[in-house]
Amino acid sequence: MEEEAFTDINGKPITLDCHSHSSFCREFTVSSPKVSIGKVMVYTCSVWLLAYAVFFFTQNTAVLSSAILITLVGMMLHIHFVKVDHESLLVIGSLGIQVSSSYASGREVTTFIEMSKIKDIVINEAIYMHQIIYYLCVLLKEPFEPNEVSSVVPLFQSSKPRLGCLVKVYKSCQEILSTCQ
Amino acid sequence: MGQRRRAGAVKTLSSERDSADVARICNRKHNICMVSDFFYPNMGGVESHIYQLSQCLIEKGHKVVIATHAYGRRRGVRYLTNGLKVYYLPLQVMYSQSTATTCVHSLPLLRCVFVREQITVVHAHSSFSSMAHDALFHAKTMGLNTVFTDHSLFGFADLSSVLTNKLLTITLCDTNHIVCVSYTSKENTVLRAVLNPEIVSVIPNAVDPTDFTPDPSQRPADRITIVVISRLVYRKGIDLLGGIIPELCLKHPDLHFLIGGEGPKRLVLEEVREKYQLHDRVRLLGALEHKDVRGVLVQGHIFLNTSLTEAFCMAIVEGASCGLQVVSTRVGGIPEVLPDDLITLCEPTVRSLCDGLEQVIAKQRSDSFPSPASIHNRVRNLYTWKNVAERTEKVYDKVVGEEVLPLAKRLRRLRSHCGPVAGSIFAFVAMLDFLFLLLLQWLLPDRFMDVAVDATGPHGLWRQKTSRKKFD
């Protein structure tokens, strides 16, 4: 078990955690920093200040209570659906790949891809917003034509690590994939 | 800003070094980014020029990437033959495959391409392409050396050319070097953009001679065929062609026309064919793919070009390479293209073209022309892509030693060269562009951008892989 510090595509620090369970089973976990208290304060304050400004002109208390509601619901939705704390990739040779992401609220989403469906794991380039980035993805086989690629599953979608981190994960994934084929 | 100052300092240092270093600089490999709105899957002269030039530069060991806009579902990053990397950037297309220009909105993506590919020279193509103009603008803001290739001739009188010329003046006034495809085109560009002629080079286009070989057995023996291959538009003089066809067909009963291409002027030709009942003798083939062109050319004896304006006519070189006798109008850069005995030049009138064709037909009947194979042998070494790449390389070598104007000088240059109104407006836009670049550099510093893995160039992985395959 080793932990390494990398950055994501926006320059924020992330850590990569490699856990080798056995020679054909490895787990990679990318952890993003926790929600910072400063950021929460800034968003809350800006919503409330806006609400006070509106209240000052309209003299309607409903504005204030809705502002409180908005911040609370917004924060809950954010930690439940947007903010991902850990993303992990579990590669088990001859069995498959498990991709899971755990949200800040504790919710966890897990998908499993069988080895028979996987063609390869590659690093690809894509245009994302106003940037061109590298990302790691799993290529899936067409069911009846094993040489065709039917679809692509991007990995580490919310943490978006930079190339250095991707290369490390890619290399050890390839070690396992090459031994089981 | 700091980065640019440093780059400028390095450049002045290197220019102070004496000629002992020149050889080393000449052997230096460049990272070149070709930018144009026009690239495959769109078809045409500019597209194939960019592709062929890039391939030859890759062969010479330079790193080349191409940036163009997304064509339908073709967006993102693609690799072509020999690891030529193409960025299809999602920019909005406005009019006839040309993107909208605001001078600012394309900066984030182009900056990303330039930074991650560590570009040293930005080479933009075609004055119709607004993405090329944008890229030059941003490259100068980022302190990169710039080269521009102009592929077409323009007028001076109508409104659209006045506007394009103004835009060209603005883009080219601080571009390091300009390449034109013929001397006529150079003269035209120098006049249009008010340039110093010393920074304009002439590098003609080329054709791949192996694609255009003669095959006289394909020619029907009982007739004389005139081949015309061009887009059927006003600029290509299709109205002249409409006048020539009936006149010559009446005189020579064994004369046939083979016309390849598509466009709005097809109506003119169809009308002529209808009126004089020439359906069996004038064949309209419609749009041709590039690979089919040779198959059409070898069926003919004479190649006819009726263009009214042309910077450098690739079609007549292709025709001559297939061993055809070429008859063309004497316009633009055409007289420079082929040696006098391979081409018959006429004035752009029906009368003159008919006379010229009559002469050539008479000679063809008396069999006094050299054989197609001998014509091909003369033409095949006239225009090769290798030669074009060598000459372009020299331009790059020269350009990387030059200084990119810092902002203050650039603003002064814009205002002094482009008139008080347009100059001031674009000086303001250049300022905006610079501020936007600072904002982007603050939001996402260059050091957080991953440097792309080289496919081509001195450390290109593509070549190593293929050579390793060869050894295995």
> What confidence tens digit (pLDDT) does each residue in B16-26 have?
444 445 445 55
Same domain, A145 and A107: yes
> Quick check: B104 contacting A, CB < 8 Å?
no
Q: What percent of chain B has pLDDT over 90?
A: 53
Average pLDDT, stretch A114-122?
Answer: 91
Q: B323-345 pLDDT, tens per residue?
A: 999 999 998 889 989 999 899 99
CB-nearest to B450 from A126, A130, A163 is A163
Residue B445 is predicted with a pLDDT of 92
> Quick check: A167 contacting B, CB < 8 Å?
no
Residue A181 is predicted with a pLDDT of 65
Residue B304 is predicted with a pLDDT of 94
Same domain, A90 and A171: yes
3-state helix/strand/coil string of B106-151: CHHHHHHHHHHCCCCEEEEECCCCHHHHHHHHHHHHCCCEEEEEEC
Smallest CA–CA distance from B117 into chain A, residue: A132
Reduced to 3 states (helix: H, G, I; strand: E, B; else coil), residue B69 is: strand
Which residues constitute the domain of residue A168? 2-35+83-180
Residue B442 is predicted with a pLDDT of 94
- Tell me phi and psi for residue A19, to 5 degrees: -125, 115
Average pLDDT, stretch B407-428?
Answer: 90
CB-nearest to A11 from B89, B90, B445 is B445
CB contact under 8 A, A132 and B108: no
> Quick check: A126 contacting B, CB < 8 Å?
yes
Same domain, A102 and A18: yes
CB-nearest to B112 from A11, A131, A163 is A131
CA separation for the pair A162, A13 (Å, rounded): 10
CA separation for the pair A53, A60 (Å, rounded): 11
Residue B463 is predicted with a pLDDT of 63
Q: How confident is the model at residue B41 (pLDDT cuts 50, 70, 90)?
A: confident
Same domain, A31 and A115: yes
Q: What percent of chain A has pLDDT over 70?
A: 99
CA separation for the pair B322, B215 (Å, rounded): 7
Residue A28 is predicted with a pLDDT of 94
* Per-domain residue ranges of chain B: 2-206+386-471, 209-382
Same domain, A20 and A91: yes
CB contact under 8 A, B450 and A130: no
User: Which CATH number describes the domain made up of B2-206+386-471?
Assistant: 3.40.50.2000
Of the ranges B32-36, B424-428, B453-457, which one carries the lowest mean pLDDT score?
B453-457
Q: How far is CA B320 from CA A87, B120, B137, B326, B333, in A?
A: 64, 38, 40, 6, 16
Reduced to 3 states (helix: H, G, I; strand: E, B; else coil), residue B164 is: helix
**B54 pLDDT higher than 60:** yes
CB contact under 8 A, A127 and B90: yes
Residue B362 is predicted with a pLDDT of 92
Q: B262-271 pLDDT, tens per residue?
A: 889 999 999 9
**B2 pLDDT higher than 50:** no
| Pairing mode, strands A108-114 and A13-22 | unpaired
> Quick check: A132 contacting B, CB < 8 Å?
yes
| Pairing mode, strands B255-260 and B177-180 | unpaired
Q: What is the DSSP letter of A8?
A: B
CA separation for the pair B176, A66 (Å, rounded): 59
Interface mutation vs chain B, best among A131, A133, A134, most B CBs within 10 Å: A131
CB contact under 8 A, A10 and B448: yes
> Between B18 and B91, whose confidence is greater?
B91
End-of-domain residue from the set A14, A48, A81: A81
* A162: chain B residues, CB-CB within 8 Å: 448, 450
CA separation for the pair A3, A20 (Å, rounded): 12
Residue A38 is predicted with a pLDDT of 92
Q: What is the ipTM of this complex?
A: 0.89
- B60: Cα separation from own chain's centroid: 20
CB-nearest to B108 from A10, A130, A162 is A130
Question: Rounded mean pLDDT of chain B?
Answer: 87
**B302 pLDDT higher than 60:** yes
Residue B235 is predicted with a pLDDT of 86
Q: B214-229 pLDDT, tens per residue?
A: 988 888 888 899 999 9
Identify the CATH homologous superfamily for domain B209-382: Glycogen Phosphorylase B; (3.40.50.2000)
Interface mutation vs chain B, best among A6, A7, A127, A135, most B CBs within 10 Å: A127
pTM given for the model:
0.86
* B77: chain A residues, CB-CB within 8 Å: 125-127, 132
Average pLDDT, stretch A140-147?
Answer: 85
Question: Rounded mean pLDDT of chain A?
Answer: 91
Q: How confident is the model at residue B471 (pLDDT cuts 50, 70, 90)?
A: very low
> Quick check: B450 contacting A, CB < 8 Å?
yes
